[in-house]
């Protein structure tokens, strides 16, 4: 029985999602009837269920993420910004990360969507 459990655990770990790599795409924010788009670039490293790396509007303009975690295909992390934080909650769908951002900055809060694709 222990052997079967070990085999199943090994198979599960072998199939686990890996988000390590460079990602680029767009964010979309609807605010006061206007839709604003911006670019998004992520450089992520995964070790087990921990995710570290950087995020920002370009590959050159990056800031360190914090509290990065992966659970199945769900990835969460925070991007500190001046006077606030962007909280990412995305799902890995093939070579894409899709989901939402809750941003709190300067006493205001808003939501956006994000979709980035793994760069090859």
Give the CATH number, domain containing residue 93: 2.40.128.120
Number of domains in the chain: 1
As a residue count, the chain comes to 120
pLDDT at residue 17, as a whole number: 85
Q: Is residue 3 part of a domain?
A: no
Domain that residue 67 falls in: 18-118
Confidence (pTM): 0.84
pLDDT tens string, the chain, 120 residues long: the values are 554 443 434 434 445 689 999 999 999 998 788 899 999 999 999 999 999 999 999 999 999 999 999 999 999 999 999 899 999 999 999 999 999 999 998 888 899 999 999 998
Q: Is residue 58 part of a domain?
A: yes
DSSP string, the chain: -HHHHHHHHHHHHHT-----EEEEEEEEEEETTEEEEEEEEEEEEEETTEEEEEEESSSSS-EE-EEEEEETTEEEEEEEETTEEEEEEEEEETTEEEEEEEEEETTEEEEEEEEEEE--
Q: Is residue 98 part of a domain?
A: yes
Q: Is residue 61 part of a domain?
A: yes
């Amino acid at each position: 029985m222990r052997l079967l459990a070990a085999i199943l655990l090994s198979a599960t770990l072998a199939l686990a999602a890996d988000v390590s790599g460079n990602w680029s795409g767009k964010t979309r924010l609807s605010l006061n009837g206007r839709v604003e788009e911006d670019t998004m670039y992520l450089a992520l490293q995964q070790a087990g269920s921990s995710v570290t790396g950087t995020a920002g509007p370009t590959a050159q303009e990056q800031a360190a993420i914090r509290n990065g975690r992966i659970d199945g295909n769900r990835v969460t992390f925070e991007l500190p910004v001046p006077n606030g934080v962007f909280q990412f909650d995305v799902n890995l769908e093939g070579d894409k990360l899709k989901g939402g951002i809750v941003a709190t900055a300067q006493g205001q809060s808003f939501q956006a969507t994000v979709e980035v694709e793994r760069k090859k």
